[in-house]
Structure 1
Amino acid sequence: MSRYVVSTVRRLGLLAVVLALVAVVVPDSATPEDEVTVVALPHARGLDTSDRVVWILAVGSDARPGQDMTRSRGDALQMVGIDTRTGAAASIGIPRDSWVPIPGHGSNRVNAALYYGGPQLLGRTVGSFLGLQPDYVMVTRFTFFENMVRDIGGITVSNPRPFADEFLKPKGFKAGRIHLGGYDAHVFSRIRKSLPGGDFDRSANQQRVLRGIAAKVRQRAGQPGFLERGVLSVLRNTRANAAPAELFRLAQAVAQVRPGRISTCVLGGSFATINGASVIRPSYAQARRLANAARRDATLPRGC
């Protein structure tokens, strides 16, 4: 096939590549139309070569029902690398309000790039900002994420602090190791206002969910038909500029991620007001340092 992979978060608040890529390893019910979009960027070489790291920019769209999720503002952004040789994976969380240059559109919040120019422009924007270009951009809605977590049997995460939200989760989440079903994983990743670090802490929670999903997928990857069933499900609802065999290799790369070799970091910065809007001035020095550290082996330094 020669067109975009479009199978189809309202404010998901979570997307890491393992979350998006796991779309190819879950049952049919998890992939209704208009829930997942996968775009291979022009420079992507697929997974035909062995010694390389594949980079995926995973995005949660804030599109409302009926809106085009690939031309709405991105609500969650995670730049994830997978080393197909070692099973190592790195995730760089990018706060959605980071104020960065958008090619052809001046400077704005990074998530506006999806609205202005779709997955391709968002990929270029993040790539220029980090100094590391993604091979794929994956966009999802919240229904995909909830169904995915439900259909793999839920996940377990390590929560460092209790927190709640009066609308999304009045009883809240306790600290420690907790089990999350589809809805709870969604809101665990989405809640921001009650966290002391705001969007920085929310991005870190998204990465905790990433770890939980990676562990569950690796646990189930050896079950007969698990990968194949999910790939066929996605392809039935997909237009692709990547061949089915390439999608299957992506699924295999996700399944081979070793939970003990996942390293994560949320990009830091400072709060600011620009043109009356509250934004984050990201640390460009840290962005380049993290990208350079993980470029060759998908491993981030401890403590960022």
Structure 2
Amino acid sequence: MAQINRTTRRSRRPIVFDKITVIILVVFIVLAIASSVAVFNLVKNIVTGWTITPLEGLAIDPQSGDPSNSGEIVATLPAGPVQPEGGPTPEPWDGTSRVTILVMGLDYRDWEAGEVARTDTMMLLSLDPLSHTASIMSVPRDMWVNVPGFDYNKINTAYYLGEIYDLPGGGPALAMETVEQFLGVPISYYAQIDFMAFERFIDELKGIHITPTQNVTLAVIGSDYKQELIAGETVTLPGNLALAYARARYTEGGDFDRASRQQEVVLAIRDRILDYTMLPTLIAKAPILYQEIAAGIHTNLSFDEAFQLATFAINIDRSKIKTVVIDPSCVQFGKSPDGLDILIPIPDKIRLLRDEAFTTGGPVGPATLAESTDPAVTSDPFSLVKAENARLSIQNGSWLTGLAASTATYLRDRGFNIQEETNGEASDITTIYLYNGKPATVQAIFDMFEAAGLSKPRLYNRTDLNGQFDLTVILGNDWANYVSTNPLQ
């Protein structure tokens, strides 16, 4: 069994596929291919001497290209993605737009039992060529979201449902659509990686350097071997312990801590590959690395696109890589109708976290605008509402005919973005359903009711970050009683 900082051999049990296949596709396919790019540039003559088992993928053809290039090596990359037939069709990348990849690890206990797998890990990796930045965002597997066509479920069931019902694009397509709808972030590509290839890849890198922030007990898959890591102590983890570190969840923060550790592993692999002392190893091991990649991943990224992404990724400064985890402050803990533990998203907090990860300058919300010295902002009491531009549906749930229309007109005259006015379910108390984080708009409605001497409307968070409306307001008899004696002007 390989241990920290030294290698000894013990008898190993046969490896049993466990519930984590985790994370690192883009590190595999982007950074590993990036290492090959570096190898091509540094040791062209050495590359010409490679002899490797024929594979679908990278073909070294020293005879191709412009004859005037004095023997420069040309890498011929196939255009097709590395995925089973019937997988989701990717949109071509233009080379300049932000590109986001959903990285998935599957629950191999399902596979071992002969069942269709659920996702155990979901991570978004996003690259922005224009700002030369990247971001990594982890999504908890127990998040309670709308799975298109299947109502509300844990987010980790999307892949399973897409596979078991044989939907177009299969599990990857439905998983991508679900995460895209949940966060409102366009997702171009997906990737899956198996943990055996992950272990082998780390071993070829001679391990990765990790400095844990808390004590962690590592349990190696397929073995009774365990290793204790001490907070603040930098260690070099071989493949099996790196995988154990990425999958460990028995710390105070549970799955939230594990998501952070997985991001640590991604960045540690990046740092290891870009360490100049690794170049001789990469030169010698690049054919092996490529074979491991070809055997261990499924993705709708073509090699050509991966090559482009690699060229960009190796030039991103470490300080320009954001890491974001949806943590306990962004969710409410609850139970599903069938009694499962679930995480209910808090939309305004999820939105701010999303913007932090996927916008170059970070979120620009009401708190930021409230500090503005712009006269156009400070002189207009509804400036924050106008800046949010929340899409509202105004519905009449009261006894007073025409209440939705008169209230919509009143709000529209003050800068509210009213998208719909209609009848709704009967209600004594005005109720707001909040789908996206629009705190200034909600507060303005609260203020309106307070000025009328009424209690604040009831407020419920609903998950639909990419839906038709940001808020639905169902006007109750409380508002009707006020308006009937105090006409809106």
> What's the TM-score, normalizing by structure 1?
0.78
Using the TM superposition, name which of 58-67 and 77-86 deviates more: 58-67
Instruction: Indicate conservation of the 8 Å contact 1:53/1:298, yes or no.
Output: no
Deviations 1:190-241 (A, max 9, x none): 111x210111111111111111012122336977868974557645888875
Secondary structure of 1:156's partner?
Answer: strand
Q: Hey, what does 1:202 align to over in structure 2? A: 258
C-alpha deviation, 1:37, in angstroms: 4.9
Residue in structure 1 matched with residue 92 of structure 2 by the alignment: 45
Call closer, same or farther: CA 1:198–1:298 in 2, change over 3 Å. farther
Distance 1:285 1:267 in 2: 12
2:95 partner letter: T
CA 240–280 in structure 1, closer or farther in 2 if over 3 Å, else same: closer
What percentage of residue pairs aligned between the two structures are identical?
25
Question: Which structure has the larger Rg?
Answer: 2
**Cα distance in 2, alignment partners of residues 219 and 69 from structure 1:** 41
Deviation at 1:251? 2.9
Instruction: Report whether the alignment pairs 1:273 with 2:335.
Output: yes
Deviation at 1:167, TM superposition (A): 7.0
Q: In the alignment, which of 311, 319, 344 is matched to residue 260 of structure 1? A: 319
Q: 1:123 to 1:78 in 2, by over 3 A?
A: same
Q: Is 1:140 matched up with 2:181?
A: no
Structure 2 Cα separation of the partners of residues 300 and 54 of structure 1: 19
Structure 1 residues without counterparts, runs of 5 or longer: 1-8
Equivalent residue, structure 2, for 1:14: 22
Corresponding residue to 1:157 among 207, 210, 230: 210
SS where residue 289 of structure 1 aligns?
helix
Which residue does 1:89 correspond to in 2?
134
Match of 1:124 in 2: 177
Distance 1:80 1:184, change over 3 A: same
- Report the CA distance between 1:41 and its aligned residue: 5.2
Conserved? CA contact 2:119–2:156, under 8 Å: yes
Mark the CA change 1:165 to 1:184 in structure 2 (over 3 Å): closer, same or farther.
closer
What TM-score, normalized to structure 2? 0.51
Q: How does 1:1-304 map to 2 (within 5 A)?
A: 10-12=18-20, 14-16=22-24, 18-21=26-29, 22=31, 24=33, 37=83, 42=89, 44-46=91-93, 48-50=94-96, 52-64=97-109, 71-117=116-162, 118-164=171-217, 170-176=226-232, 177-192=234-249, 194-219=250-275, 229=287, 230=289, 234=293, 242-268=301-327, 269-274=331-336, 275-297=338-360
Segment of structure 1 superposing worse, 173-182 or 235-244: 235-244
Confirm or deny: 8 A CA contact 1:218 1:256 kept in the other structure: no
2: CA distance, partners of 1:141 / 1:128 = 26
Stretch deviating more after TM superposition (168-177 or 122-131):
168-177
What CA distance in whole angstroms lies between the structure 2 residues aligned with 1:136 and 1:211?
20
The 10-residue stretch of structure 1 (260-269 or 135-144) with the greater mean CA deviation from structure 2? 260-269
2:354 & 2:121 partners in 1: Cα distance? 18
Letter in 2 for 1:249: Q
Change (3 A) 1:240 1:295: closer
SS at match of 1:137: strand
Supply the AA of the counterpart residue of 1:116: L
C-alpha separation between the residues in 2 aligned to 1:55 and 1:283? 23
Matches of 1:67 and 1:101 in 2, distance apart? 28
Aligned-partner Cα distance in 2 for 1:72–1:156: 31
Q: Distance in 1 between matches of 2:363 and 2:194?
A: 28
Cα 1:171–1:158 change in 2 (3 A) is closer
Mark the CA change 1:231 to 1:69 in structure 2 (over 3 Å): closer, same or farther: farther
Cα 1:235–1:76 change in 2 (3 A) is closer
